[in-house]
Amino acid sequence: MAAVIARDLWATSSNASFPGPEGAVSVPVWGYSPTPGQCQVPGPLLEAMQGDTLQVTLHNTLPEPVSLIWPGQAVRPVPVKDTNGRFVSFHRHALPGGTFIYTVNATRPGTFRYESGSNPAVQVQMGLSGPLIVRPAGFSPSDPAQRTAYGPDTGSDFDAELLLVLGEVDSRLHTAAASGSAVDLRAFAPDWWVVGGRAYPDTVAPDAPGGVQPLSSALTVQAGRRLLIRCINSGFQTHALYLGGLAGRVIAEDGYPLMSPTLDATYSRHTLTVAPGQSFDIILTSPDPGEFYLYDRELLHCVNGERFPGGMMTRLTFAV
Amino acid sequence: MDLHLWAKAGFITTPDGNSIHVWGLTDQAGGPARVPAPLLILRQGEAVTVNLTNLLPEPVSLLFPGQQGVEALPEGGAWEPVRPQHEGGLLTSLAQAAPPGGSVSYRFTPQRPGTFLYESGSNPPVQVPMGLAGAVVIRPADYDPVSNRTAYGAGTGTEYDREYLLMTGEIDPDMHLAVQEGRPVDFAAYRPRYWTLNGRCAPDTMLPDDVAVLPSQPYGAMIMAEPGERVLIRYVGGSTANHPLHPHGNHARLVAVDGHLLRNGTADLSHKRFTVLVGAGQTYDSLFDWTGLGYTPSNPIPTVIPNVRNLAVGDAGWTMWSGTAYLGQKGDLPIGVVSYNEMGEYHFMLHSHEEPQLTNWGEFPGGLMTMLAIFPPGSLGPEVGRLGHGGGM
């Protein structure tokens, strides 16, 4: 039953917290929020069923134009130029204080993201991006036969799911952009690497509903259960997702399932390089209980400052 | 199989004369630290125990990604599943570690053939770039070095005549110096100046295994074969960056990634690539056979020996030419040149397509590059293209 899903997103500013050598460090962020209050990084999860229409109203409270682009969706972008013909946004934007309504037909299931198409080198780094999950037609979380990422016979049935949104934070860029100073993009140099907007050990802290960084990336599932990992790289660097020493089965790339009636092109990996903007869906399981750290095998991203452990790491527990 | 490894400090050298402090492993009591760590050649179904003695100033552990049922024997403990170690709820090590001066053992039975890594799970952003990582090759249960030489077992389409393993690496000399001097590492300032294959920068990559001048870098990276032979190259992303490796002259077929055959039932998912992005911590097995531009033994490619004035003449090992296939034919040597293509072999480059990395501290040529040489038929012995050199493990 196709539905119209109306959502409101406010582009706002807030402060996020990252682990430093002497306690938490506060860093200004921009993000999308389901309320006019503080923003969230990453942006709130948007969910739709295949066939639904998403109607997202963007309210821009930031001092520059902000937009939403929908990589992988059948949306025809309408670029915006200023009066001098200079390119401003990849797609229609909301001016400061203004709004814009985006209509997205969710035609195929998958793991996607949305992000700002305005001044994206700054705005996406500041936090203006979020995950979008489109459920296959007939999806039912309570019916194991219909609890799939891509529909029946795609090898995508799962018992539990975990969303890993990878990214980086360059605190100097954030401070400059938030204060309205000039941003020197040549000097882009992240000082935190994040999963779900948090750096380890914050990644394994519980969900914090209503907070700026609400998303935990830690999960406990029963040994032998099929875990679906939806990994999205929302950052600007590649990251090599190490699956804790376990073998994961890649079942989809960029929201395209690899199994069809005529060909099973799924494949197994221990580690997977995920480029900026890519998404991978991976089925992971462990026959035995145990704790497994998932982290960036580009190991220099697993630090906070001068110290390991930190950064882009999280923990998966297969319980008895 | 019972193996002993010692983690210790040492030095490697680069072709520009630099000497770099490293942390490596050796399988020889009292031997020099080796980068990369000794290649472990194991067999599917045959249990292995790896005993690690730590001669470094901080705890060291070993991870065996992709191996199942790995157990650890910490000092004064009993065998237990390998697992992350915590203190006050915070991760201290990804596996049970050997304290400085102490030891730890690991054991497992390889379940699947393939190409894998092993590496330190303690302070890995420092210890892995410092050199505590190596490759693991697991032979299929039915492997026979003479009659059944395959990467993944009979019937998997992975037969080969010669095999090579190329492990990538990066070296930021400032990181190594900081570790040498006991200073903290400034990760934000990390900037490699050298890029390596099997721990060596070009042109050292083209030297043979076990050369006396490189005691801590015993693995060569020169690919050698004859026309029509099937060559297996196992690429291993040993350090922390991704490298697009590109062999000239051949489109190689990727047959496995991370030790998993690219095959689902009857569906063959292997595919050709002329550049393979070898990701950090990942392995890629590729197969090619060089047939050349219409080459057959009875119809060698017409040869025009180049005028000496058109050659780049350098020291032994650097005077090479591959303008046209001239298998088995060579002209007169310029005065003072010991040899160029020694047997009239045909050289192709194999290198990273991030070409700033073909340098040694900014000087081209160097870095992440080697040669792939096709030799005249019958000129290579059976010992060429066999893993297991480099200290004899």
Residue-wise pLDDT tens digits, B117-176: 999 999 999 999 999 999 999 999 999 999 999 999 999 999 999 999 999 999 999 999
- Mean pLDDT, rounded, for B329-353: 68
How much is the pLDDT for B76? 93
Lowest mean pLDDT among A244-253, B140-149, B318-327: B318-327
- Do residues A301 and B303 make contact, with C-beta atoms less than 8 angstroms apart? no
pLDDT at B240 exceeding the cut of 70: yes
Name chain B contacts of A300, Cβ cutoff 8 Å: 125, 129, 187, 190, 240
* Residue B392 pLDDT level (bands cut at 50, 70, 90): very low
How much is the pLDDT for B250? 76
- Mean pLDDT, rounded, for A150-154: 96
CB pairs under 8 A between A and B: 113
How much is the pLDDT for A59? 98
- Do residues A174 and A29 make contact, with C-beta atoms less than 8 angstroms apart? yes
Any A CB within 8 A of B228 CB: no
How much is the pLDDT for A91? 96
Lowest mean pLDDT among A279-283, B80-84, B106-110, B373-377: B373-377
Judge: A271–B279 Cβ closer than 8 Å, yes or no: yes
Lowest mean pLDDT among A11-25, B23-37, B284-298, B311-325: B311-325
pLDDT at A312 exceeding the cut of 60: yes
**Full 3-state SS string of chain B:** CEEEEEEEEEEEECCCCCEEEEEEEECCCCCCCECCEEEEEEECCCCEEEEEEECCCCCECCECCCCCCCEEEECCCCCEECCCEEECCEEEECCCCECCCCEEEEEECCCCCEEEEEECCCCHHHHHHHCCEEEEEEECCCCECCCECECCCCCCCCECCEEEEEEEEEECHHHHHHHHCCCCCCHHHCCCCEEEECCECECHHHCCCCCCCCCCCCCCCCEEECCCCEEEEEEEECCCCCEEEEECCCCEEEEEECCEECEECCEECCEEECCEEECCCCEEEEEEECCCCCCECCECCCCCCCCHHHCCCCCCCCCCCCCCCCCCCCCCCCCCCCCCCCCCCEEEEEEECCHHHCCECCECCCECEEEEEECCCCCCCCCCCCCCCCCCC
* Residue B347 pLDDT level (bands cut at 50, 70, 90): confident
pLDDT in tens, A187-204: 999 999 999 999 999 999
**Min Cα separation B2/chain A (Å):** 22
* Residue A227 pLDDT level (bands cut at 50, 70, 90): very high
Any A CB within 8 A of B220 CB: no
Any A CB within 8 A of B67 CB: yes
* Residue B332 pLDDT level (bands cut at 50, 70, 90): low
Instruction: Choose the mutation target among A270, A278, A284, A295 for the interface with B, i.e. most B CBs under 10 Å.
Output: A270
* Residue B190 pLDDT level (bands cut at 50, 70, 90): very high
**Min Cα separation A305/chain B (Å):** 7
pLDDT in tens, B42-86: 999 999 999 999 999 999 999 999 999 999 999 999 999 999 999
From B189, which residue of chain A is nearest by alpha-carbon distance? A189
pLDDT at B198 exceeding the cut of 50: yes
Name chain A contacts of B129, Cβ cutoff 8 Å: 299-300
How much is the pLDDT for A8? 98
Name chain B contacts of A261, Cβ cutoff 8 Å: none
Lowest mean pLDDT among A21-25, A120-124, A128-132: A21-25
Comparing CB atoms, the residue among B64, B94, B280 nearest residue A298 is B280
Comparing CB atoms, the residue among A291, A298, A305 nearest residue B83 is A291
Instruction: Choose the mutation target among B187, B190, B255 for the interface with A, i.e. most A CBs under 10 Å.
Output: B187
d(CA B392, CA B218): 10
Average pLDDT, chain A: 97
Lowest mean pLDDT among A37-41, A113-117, A303-307, B337-341: B337-341
d(CA A133, CA A149): 9
Any A CB within 8 A of B241 CB: yes
Name chain A contacts of B116, Cβ cutoff 8 Å: 270
How much is the pLDDT for B374? 86
- Mean pLDDT, rounded, for A226-252: 98
Average pLDDT, chain B: 90
Judge: B281–A293 Cβ closer than 8 Å, yes or no: no
Torsion of CA B79, B85, B86, B91, to 10 degrees: -170
* Residue B290 pLDDT level (bands cut at 50, 70, 90): confident
Percent of chain B residues past pLDDT 70, beyond the cut: 85
* Residue B248 pLDDT level (bands cut at 50, 70, 90): confident
How much is the pLDDT for B348? 85
From A299, which residue of chain B is nearest by alpha-carbon distance? B125
pLDDT at B302 exceeding the cut of 80: no
Judge: B184–A306 Cβ closer than 8 Å, yes or no: yes
How much is the pLDDT for B227? 85
pLDDT at B306 exceeding the cut of 70: no
Judge: B63–A300 Cβ closer than 8 Å, yes or no: no
Any A CB within 8 A of B59 CB: no
How much is the pLDDT for B335? 64
How much is the pLDDT for B297? 63
* Residue B228 pLDDT level (bands cut at 50, 70, 90): confident
